[in-house]
Structure 1
Amino acid sequence: MDTLILIFKVVIALGILNVWLLRFNKQTEWRGAGAGNMNEEFTKYGLPVWLVPVIGFLKLGFATLLIISIFQDGYNLGFIGAVGMGILMIGAIAMHIKINDPLKRSLPAFLMLVMSAFIAFA
């Protein structure tokens, strides 16, 4: 069980780092409404552009907590990171539903939600 939690923490953190740092300005098959970058994706969701750095900060922060918790979890950092990430993933899924995206585009957020729930409640 500990190995699976470790794997989930790394997968979530690397996924978030990939999307928010490496692919921020790139089009991917997972972006809402086929948006070309993160700012455009938030616009397609009907969200203000100022929310992009706020959500990015939160996602990167929770991903960082998950990584730190691998080495030191005296303050329940893994739980905090997983619950925070789970809440954000619920929001991501809701945005895909809001704009009638194909279910496939919600898959990464759904998988991260499941992994986050497992980390938080295992």
Structure 2
Amino acid sequence: MFIATAVLSVLLALAFAGAGFPKVSGKDDMAAQLGRLGVPTGLMRVIGALEIVGAVGLLVGLWVGVLGVAAAAGLALLMAGAVATHLKARDTPKDSLPSLVLLVLSAVTAALGLAAL
């Protein structure tokens, strides 16, 4: 079970770090995309920072299990908010799918990590 948790944690850390850095740096295309969903620029940077901190937490969680579970659960909650934001904005299923997939994978990672504690 540790191998599955480790693989998911590393993949999710890469995905969330890759998604978080453009938000923190305030890239214009990211601001436009999130602005279309009604997310202000200041909140975009907070979301990006949470994604980066969560990614670090997933990696550290490979050695400190409870931290990995907390990071995965936090990222699942963050993605639940993202899915809700996409639904509220009546976004297309194609645009909402990445958030939903990350939500499910984060929840599975949290569950696997919790089972291993």
What residue is the counterpart of 2:101 in the other structure?
111
**Residues of 2 paired with 1:20 and 1:117: CA distance?**
19
Q: Provide runs of 4+ in structure 1 moved above 4 Å.
A: none
- After TM superposition, the structure 1 = structure 2 runs for residues 8-23 of structure 1, keeping only pairs within 5 Å, are 8-21=8-21
**Residues of 2 paired with 1:19 and 1:116: CA distance?**
14
What residue is the counterpart of 1:79 in the other structure?
69
Q: Is the 8 A contact 2:76 2:106 kept in 1?
A: yes
Q: Is the 8 A contact 2:80 2:103 kept in 1?
A: yes
CA deviation profile, 1:73-122 (whole Å, cap 9, x unmatched): 15x11111001100110011111112222212122211111111112122
Is there any run of 5+ residues in structure 1 with no aligned partner, and where?
Answer: 26-35
What TM-score results when the alignment is normalised by the length of structure 1?
Answer: 0.80
- After TM superposition, the structure 1 = structure 2 runs for residues 44-83 of structure 1, keeping only pairs within 5 Å, are 44-70=36-62, 72-73=63-64, 76-83=66-73
What residue is the counterpart of 2:87 in the other structure?
97
The CA RMSD over aligned residues, in Å, is: 1.9
**Residues of 2 paired with 1:110 and 1:60: CA distance?**
18
2:49 maps to a residue whose letter is F
Percent identity between matched residues is 33
Equivalenced residue count is 110
1:47 maps to a residue whose letter is V
Offset of residue 22 of structure 1: 5.8
Offset of residue 49 of structure 1: 1.4
Is there any run of 5+ residues in structure 2 with no aligned partner, and where?
Answer: 113-117
